[in-house]
């Protein structure tokens, strides 16, 4: 129940990528037969990614992960548009890949506005527009939050960005493959995605850079990726990402309602069995697979430890920050007090989640919570 942290490689994705570690090992930049075949596979993958997120294939730049895509977008625009201004608008609930990139730029002399969210983790587009100044060069706002699943109004944000002539970067790592994502319809200039969040392997991601968007590269080198990212391409990873995007595009129509039903069963089941439970995140505008719940009178680490002993993998939020016992910056920005919130746990479902898994959780969790509350 931790699919927002990572996902297993889809069997069809694994089948598709294996030949590129065996016979099809050519360098896509080679002009001989060995390279040409591989180059074709690369361009096919680019088309599949583009089809899922609503952009042209030429606008897809493959990266090593979602973090690199976020860094490339934000630092790349900051460097390219430094002459126009130094102001960047983001939110307080972004993934560390965006938060810490902005923090770095702040130390380099950029001015960062971090917008608050309401108690549902929702962003107000009017407040975003009010934050735009003459010096604003970039808005970086995520599509769906990794901890709560709250979905931001990216269409409205894109409209504001277009009207005010500011670049819009969207970290859509949690959204791609789960809900419809459309760069054209939502006028998103730059969009980050990551393979391992949608059943492709770790170590592959992409940044969509729409035509006309000026961007300095992060990696200087050869002319790969139309001079936007040097380095010989991760061919197997790229083929895997393309395959995963195609599978997601086909499966989403049925998979999203299936996961929503399972997730709702998990949520109502927990509320029926356990008192003192609150939902963190927007009740409706939320990823279909995510439920973030607080259990009063408990702590997240003791809940997670006991769930782990029962064989259940869940998370206290960002996988990247678990192990540290800090209160989640996302829940903090929503105004939940660490103590009042109690232990906050994120359950995130995916492809292999079944009704029996939810029933098992509903069997064991009430006992765990009662025991922890009794110990206090």
**In Å, what is the CA distance from 201 to each residue of 26, 236, 332, 340?**
20, 9, 31, 38
Tell me, rounded to whole angstroms, the distance of Cα 284 from its chain centroid: 19
Q: How far is the CB of 38 from ligand PLP (least distance, A)?
A: 23
Q: How far is the CB of 193 from ligand PLP (least distance, A)?
A: 9
In the set 55, 65, 245, 320, the catalytic residue is 320
State which residue, 99 or 303, has the beta carbon closest to ligand PLP.
99
Residues that bind ligand PLP (CB under 6 A): 65-67, 70, 95, 97, 142, 146, 171, 173-174, 194, 196-197, 205
**In Å, what is the CA distance from 128 to each residue of 159, 166, 188?**
12, 12, 15
Rounded to a whole number of angstroms, the CA Rg of the chain reads: 21
Query: How far apart, in whole angstroms, are the C-alpha atoms of residue 89 and residue 140?
Result: 6
Query: How far apart, in whole angstroms, are the C-alpha atoms of residue 65 and residue 360?
Result: 34
State residue 280 phi and psi, 5-degree precision. Answer: -105, 120
- Contact call for residues 45 and 239 (beta carbons, < 8 A): yes
- Contact call for residues 361 and 312 (beta carbons, < 8 A): yes
Q: How far is the CB of 152 from ligand PLP (least distance, A)?
A: 11
State which residue, 1 or 173, has the beta carbon closest to ligand PLP.
173
Query: How far apart, in whole angstroms, are the C-alpha atoms of residue 271 and residue 254?
Result: 26
Q: Let me know if 55 is a catalytic residue.
A: no
Q: How far is the CB of 97 from ligand PLP (least distance, A)?
A: 4
Catalytic positions are 320
């Amino acid at each position: 129940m931790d699919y927002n942290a990572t996902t297993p490689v889809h069997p069809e994705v694994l089948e598709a990528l294996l030949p590129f570690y065996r016979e099809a090992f050519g360098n896509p930049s080679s002009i001989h037969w060995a390279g040409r075949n591989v180059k074709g596979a690369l361009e096919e993958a680019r088309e599949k990614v583009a089809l899922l997120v609503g952009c042209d294939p030429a606008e897809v730049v493959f990266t090593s992960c979602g973090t690199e895509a976020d860094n490339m977008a934000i630092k790349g625009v900051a460097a390219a548009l430094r002459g126009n201004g130094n102001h960047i608008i983001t939110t307080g609930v972004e993934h560390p890949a965006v938060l810490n990139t902005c923090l770095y730029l702040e130390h380099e002399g950029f001015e960062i506005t971090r917008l608050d969210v309401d108690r549902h983790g929702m962003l107000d587009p009017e407040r975003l527009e009010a934050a735009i100044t003459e010096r604003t060069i970039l808005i970086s706002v995520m599509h769906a939050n990794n901890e709560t699943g709250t979905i931001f109004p990216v269409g409205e944000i894109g409209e504001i960005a277009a009207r005010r002539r500011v670049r819009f970067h969207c970290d859509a790592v949690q959204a791609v493959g789960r809900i419809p994502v459309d760069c054209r319809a939502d006028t998103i200039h730059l969009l980050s995605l990551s393979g391992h969040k949608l059943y492709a392997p770790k170590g592959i991601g992409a940044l969509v850079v729409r035509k006309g968007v000026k961007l300095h590269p992060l990696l200087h080198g050869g002319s790969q990726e139309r001079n936007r990212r040097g380095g010989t391409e991760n061919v197997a990873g790229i083929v895997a990402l393309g395959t995963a995007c195609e599978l997601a595009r086909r499966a989403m129509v049925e998979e999203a309602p299936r996961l929503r039903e399972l997730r709702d069963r998990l949520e109502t089941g927990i509320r029926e069995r356990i008192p003192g439970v609150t939902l963190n995140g927007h009740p409706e505008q939320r990823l279909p697979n995510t439920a973030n719940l607080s259990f009063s009178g408990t702590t997240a680490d003791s809940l997670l430890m006991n769930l782990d002993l029962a064989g259940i993998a869940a998370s206290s939020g960002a996988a990247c920050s678990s192990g540290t016992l800090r209160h989640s910056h996302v829940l903090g920005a929503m105004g939940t007090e660490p103590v009042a919130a109690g232990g906050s746990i994120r359950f995130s479902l995916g492809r292999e989640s079944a009704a029996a898994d939810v029933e098992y959780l509903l069997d064991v969790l009430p006992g765990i919570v009662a025991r922890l509350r009794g110990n206090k």
